[in-house]
């Protein structure tokens, strides 16, 4: 047993008590009435960073909720690691669906149930305790540590980008580590090396100036809901592929090495399907489930609205029909090129007799790590030390816009090492954190700080 594990086990009860305190503060960022709780949560975290060994900690106001900034600068020639996380949480509704109250942490079957336990207060706390553990163990590799823990991740990190730009000098670092992602299973630590990007649009089809009687006008006036269905269906072919010209051209082929990595993962399609409650899985032909989720782009309808949607029947020929349509994109697709080709295809599919307007909402580029960078060797070594198993390289089908933001603004690689688990109910009732993963993850992170200190060259030195 390593020194780290010995220290963690000796102090685990206190770690749990502290985490419970942290999780008891209802830091729901979307709720304006909780602003005081957010502030209280930031102050709690600042105090605990200080007592863990971060001498300089500030709670910095933003136009939204405050950002906690910590600095432990030990050696100008040592490399610098920036830890990002967030202390705000999702709303807890519907509260009556929780087995125990969302802000009264409770342990059942080795899991800690509370809002924020997995996303992301539990994982932030693991970093705080990793630093305490490392310092208590007299580990000697010098590393400068910086912490930036925000309070608005669940509401879109509205003020983070500007803050990082404004404080880019102070946040300068050689790598960024973010623990806000998942492992594949409790015994398999993971490094997330790729994220899909996104292009999100709204299509509005307009026909007659207002709703008409479907008897008096049906058959003579082009129905925007019929037209919308034809457009949406025309955007996909019978093989589950988008019909946008050129859409797949920039998509990187999956390499043999990547296919071998995927094959090693304990993926169980049947369990996955049962977990989502679908009758069977589907999608683009010719690819496995994980390939479709991580390596292939999508085209999904996210919302539909037209005409009469109440109970029963109303004989209306709708004046308009709306669809939200988004595409998850992958390297090397470009969001702007994708949205322009998409719009051209939608116009091509629009029948005479209706007009179409397309609104562009947010977009984000796909992201893929450079797995040859030494930060990944460091993470592999640390996770192997903490969990007794070499980590798997995985990807995530979703988009995390702050990842490319950090990489671009600070010109430093981002390492995604997360400790949530599949089915942890991150945005749902009964969110939970696996307590043995919490314990082993702290050890892994304490090791990570050392491995990065050993393996990374300081650019500032």
Residues labelled as active-site residues: 88, 153
Nearer to a second copy, 73 or 305 (CB): 305
Could you tell me which residues come within 8 angstroms of residue 272 by beta carbon, excluding any fewer than 6 positions away? 281, 289
Q: What are phi and psi of 79, to 5 degrees?
A: -70, 160
Kindly tell me which residue out of 351, 374, 404, 429 binds a second copy, with binding defined by CB under 8 A: 351
d(CA 413, CA 274): 37
Under the binding rule (CB under 8 A), the answer on residue 286 touching a second copy is no
Under the binding rule (CB under 8 A), the answer on residue 397 touching a second copy is yes
Which tokens is 165 given? 């730009």
* Local structure of 135: helix, strand or coil: helix
**Residues between 31 and 70 with contacts to a second copy, criterion CB under 8 A:** none
Task: Work out how close the CB of 157 gets to a second copy at its nearest, in angstroms, rounded to a whole number.
Answer: 15
Task: Work out how close the CB of 84 gets to a second copy at its nearest, in angstroms, rounded to a whole number.
Answer: 19
Task: Work out how close the CB of 323 gets to a second copy at its nearest, in angstroms, rounded to a whole number.
Answer: 8
**Residues between 300 and 319 with contacts to a second copy, criterion CB under 8 A:** 300-309, 312-318
Contact assessment for residue 423 and residue 186, using Cβ atoms and an 8 Å cutoff: no
Query: For residue 168, which of 408, 409, 407 has the smallest C-alpha distance?
Result: 409
Under the binding rule (CB under 8 A), the answer on residue 234 touching a second copy is yes
Kindly tell me which residue out of 40, 217, 344, 409 binds a second copy, with binding defined by CB under 8 A: 217
The Cα-based distances of 5 to 14, 134, 383 in angstroms read 15, 10, 13
**Residues between 321 and 350 with contacts to a second copy, criterion CB under 8 A:** 321-324, 326, 328
Give the total of residues touching a second copy (CB under 8 A).
81
Nearer to a second copy, 117 or 306 (CB): 306
Site map 175..204 versus a second copy, x via CB under 8 A = ---------------------x-x-x-x--
Task: Work out how close the CB of 196 gets to a second copy at its nearest, in angstroms, rounded to a whole number.
Answer: 6
Kindly tell me which residue out of 1, 32, 63, 276 binds a second copy, with binding defined by CB under 8 A: 276
- Residue 420 β-bridge partners: 182
Under the binding rule (CB under 8 A), the answer on residue 123 touching a second copy is no
DSSP 8-state secondary structure symbol assigned to residue 195: E
- Residue 363 β-bridge partners: 199
**Residues between 398 and 417 with contacts to a second copy, criterion CB under 8 A:** 398-399
Query: How buried is 214 (Cβ within 10 angstroms: 0-12 exposed, 13-18 middle, 19+ buried)?
Result: middle
Under the binding rule (CB under 8 A), the answer on residue 371 touching a second copy is no
Kindly tell me which residue out of 33, 109, 280, 370 binds a second copy, with binding defined by CB under 8 A: 280
Query: For residue 126, which of 459, 457, 448 has the smallest C-alpha distance?
Result: 448
Neighbours of 441 (CB within 10 A): 29
Neighbours of 377 (CB within 10 A): 16
Site map 427..456 versus a second copy, x via CB under 8 A = x-----------------------------
């Amino acid at each position: 047993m390593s020194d780290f594990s010995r220290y963690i086990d000796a102090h685990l009860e206190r770690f749990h008590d502290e985490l419970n305190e942290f999780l008891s503060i209802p830091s729901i960022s979307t709720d304006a009435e909780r602003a005081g709780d957010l502030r209280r949560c930031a102050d709690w975290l600042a105090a605990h960073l200080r007592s863990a060994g971060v001498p300089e900690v500030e709670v910095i106001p933003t136009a939204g909720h405050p950002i906690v900034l910590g600095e432990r600068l030990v050696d100008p020639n040592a490399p610098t690691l920036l830890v990002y996380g967030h202390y705000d949480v999702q709303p807890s509704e519907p509260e009556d669906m929780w087995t125990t109250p969302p802000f009264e942490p409770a342990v059942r079957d080795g899991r800690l149930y509370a809002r924020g336990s997995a996303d992301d207060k539990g994982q932030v706390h693991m970093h705080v305790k990793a630093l305490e553990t490392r310092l208590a163990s007299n580990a000697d590799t010098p590393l400068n540590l910086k912490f930036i823990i925000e309070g608005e991740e669940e509401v879109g990190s509205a003020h983070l980008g500007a803050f990082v730009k404004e404080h880019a000098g102070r946040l300068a670092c050689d790598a960024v580590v973010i623990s806000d992602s998942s492992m594949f299973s409790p015994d398999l630590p993971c490094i997330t090396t790729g994220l899909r990007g996104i292009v999100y649009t709204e299509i509005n089809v307009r026909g007659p100036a207002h709703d008409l009687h479907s008897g008096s006008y049906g058959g003579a006036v082009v129905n925007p809901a019929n037209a919308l269905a034809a457009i949406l269906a025309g955007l996909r072919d019978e093989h589950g592929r988008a019909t946008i010209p050129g859409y797949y051209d920039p998509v990187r082929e999956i390499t043999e090495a990547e296919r071998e990595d995927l094959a090693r993962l304990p993926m169980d399609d049947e369990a996955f399907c049962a977990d989502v409650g679908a009758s069977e899985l589907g999608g683009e032909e010719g690819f496995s489930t994980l390939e479709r989720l991580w390596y292939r782009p999508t085209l999904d309808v996210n919302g539909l609205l037209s005409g009469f949607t109440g109970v029963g029947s109303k004989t209306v020929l709708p004046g308009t029909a709306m669809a939200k349509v988004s595409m998850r994109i992958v390297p090397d697709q470009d969001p702007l090129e994708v949205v322009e080709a998409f719009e051209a295809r939608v116009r091509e599919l629009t029948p005479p007799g209706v007009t179409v307007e397309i609104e562009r909402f947010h977009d984000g580029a796909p992201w893929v790590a450079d797995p040859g960078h030494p930060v990944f060797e460091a993470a592999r070594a640390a996770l192997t030390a903490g969990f007794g198993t070499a980590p798997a390289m995985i990807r995530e089908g979703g988009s995390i816009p702050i990842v490319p933001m950090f990489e671009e603004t600070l010109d430093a690689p981002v390492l995604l090492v997360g400790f949530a688990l599949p089915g942890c109910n991150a945005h749902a009732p009964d969110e939970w954190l696996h307590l043995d993963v919490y314990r082993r993850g702290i050890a892994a992170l304490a090791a990570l700080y050392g491995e990065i200190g050993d393996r990374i060259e300081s650019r500032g030195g």
